[in-house]
Amino acid sequence: MTPRPFREARIDLGAIAHNIGALRAATATDYAMVVVKSRAYGHGAVEVARTAEETGVEWLGVASIEEGLELREADIRLPVLAWLHDPAADFGPAVDAGIDLGVSYLDQLDRIAATPGVAAVQLKIDTGLGRNGASPTEWRELVEAAAAHARVGRIMVRGVWSHLANAGEDADLAQVAAFEQAVAVAREAGLAPDILHLAATAGAIGVPSARFDLVRLGIGVYGLSPFGPESSAELGLRPAMELSAAVASVKRVGASSGVSYGHDYRTTRPTTLALVPLGYGDGIPRHASGRGPVSINGVTYPVAGRIAMDQLVVDVGDAEVGVGDRAILFGDPADGVPTATDWAEAADTIDYEIVTRIGGRIERTYRS
């Protein structure tokens, strides 16, 4: 057996394939998009995209064109939609690579239409999130301009889409209604978009009327819930990332020993301290100091004291812990270990942020 990396984010591609299947079965749309932006939420964009391709997913989603080009360089041929562009972007490479472009405003549309080749675009309406997308007052002008560019063969309008704010059922349904209205305006302008889409994981599961032709699946693919700790297992999802490191050193100390910067933690009895080589430089949130859970040899302990840049300490009492034992910060609760959601609670954030930030010196490995 090859030794495991000192610091390892082990990605279970089988879990990712399983989660895609579970989400598709639960949402029943013609098309599913797997969102692989930001290194596939820290899981590795190319590896996740290949797995998505093998499961028969129809689309991949990324924020930036560069993320889309990275997939093409890895010879991933699935349709890709990229939606967040540098205002000064050269859209040529994306058009050449057959990457669909999300379009949010008129100047962006005109620049895309002026790019050599025929860009496939998906027009985005802001139905209430207040982020990207044309506001309803700008929408008619945008779709009429798109129809004009399409008539002369400068672009192809493949889709119309938007994004939910997850601000409660009434707000979701108001966004669905605003979306339907925007689609009607697009049709009046002469467009016949093939693909309408509004829902990410939370909407795909919780708002059936938001599913339309395609759902954009992000967090659920990685086995985490957009709603909180319970529903991940309820939805039959399996967390795909296990973050662990080898215990780097172990020492016995007396009662009343201060641990880590500021001595926020003090031992209350003679005890054993295990040093884990993971810190905020690797994406472990310092805000979880004193709280973040760590499992060593089947027992879960809170981090003792402050999380430093490169390391954290665990007070394991009188447990038999040796150098090289595996310290698991999070993984699949079915293995009896803490979850990314537990870390999110300890750091007062969401599980999305926990996995996406994992990086630094941590080596990603894969199993299927």
Ligand X SMILES: *Cc1c(COP(=O)(O)O)cnc(C)c1O
Q: Which of 216, 238, 306, 357 binds ligand X (CB under 6 A)?
A: 216
Of these residues, 37, 265, 280, 301, which one is catalytic?
A: 37
Q: Let me know if 31 is a catalytic residue.
A: no
Site string for ligand X, 255-284 (x = CB under 6 A): ------------------------------
At closest approach, how far in Å is the CB of 258 from ligand X?
41
Which of 316-341 are b and which e, b meaning 16 or more Cβ less than 10 Å from the residue's Cβ?
Answer: beebebeeeebbbbbbbbeeebbbbb
User: Which residues from 166-205 bind ligand X, rule CB under 6 A?
Assistant: 200-202
Euclidean distance between CA atoms 12 and 145, whole angstroms: 45
Q: Which is nearer to ligand X, 76 or 217 (CB)?
A: 217
CA distance 317 to 268: 10
Task: Tell whether residue 159 is a contact of ligand X (CB under 6 A).
Answer: no
Q: Give yes or no for residue 210 binding ligand X (CB under 6 A).
A: no
Comparison of 159 and 226: residue with beta carbon closer to ligand X: 226
Q: Measured at CB, which residue is nearest to ligand X? A: 218
d(C-alpha 129, C-alpha 163), whole Å:
7
- Residue from the set 163, 211, 238, 306 that interacts with ligand X by CB under 6 A: 163
Of 118 and 129, CB closest to ligand X: 129
Grouping H, G, I as helix, E, B as strand and the rest as coil, residue 322 is: coil
37 an active-site residue?
Answer: yes
Q: Are 98 and 119 in contact (CB under 8 A)?
A: no
Is 50 a residue that touches ligand X (CB under 6 A)?
A: no
Nearer to ligand X, 84 or 319 (CB): 84
DSSP track, 14-83 = HHHHHHHHHHHHHH--SEEEEE-HHHHHHT-HHHHHHHHHHTT--EEEESSHHHHHHHHHTT--S-EEE-
Q: How many angstroms separate the CA atoms of 363 and 4, rounded?
A: 10
User: Token pair 């994981």 is at which residue?
Assistant: 201
Q: Which stretch binds ligand X (CB under 6 A): 134-142, 182-190, 211-219, 244-252?
A: 211-219
Six-digit token pair at 119?
Answer: 């860009």
Select the residue interacting with ligand X from 23, 35, 274, 346 (CB under 6 A): 35
Give the residue with the Cβ less far from ligand X, 50 or 163.
163
**Least distance (Å) from ligand X to the CB of residue 41?**
7
Name the residue nearer to ligand X (CB basis): 34 or 191. Answer: 34
Which two three-digit tokens encode residue 175? 């966004």
Is residue 252 within 8 A of residue 317, CB to CB? The reply is no
> Which of residues 34, 69, 178, 217 is near ligand X by CB under 6 A?
217
**Going by DSSP bridges, is the β-strand pair 265-266/258-259 parallel, antiparallel, or unpaired?**
antiparallel
Is 82 a binding residue for ligand X by CB under 6 A? The answer is no
CB contact at 8 A, 135 and 128 = no
Size of the site for ligand X (CB under 6 A): 13
Q: Catalog residues that contact ligand X under the rule CB under 6 A.
A: 35, 37, 83, 163, 200-202, 216-220, 226
Q: Which residues are catalytic?
A: 37, 261
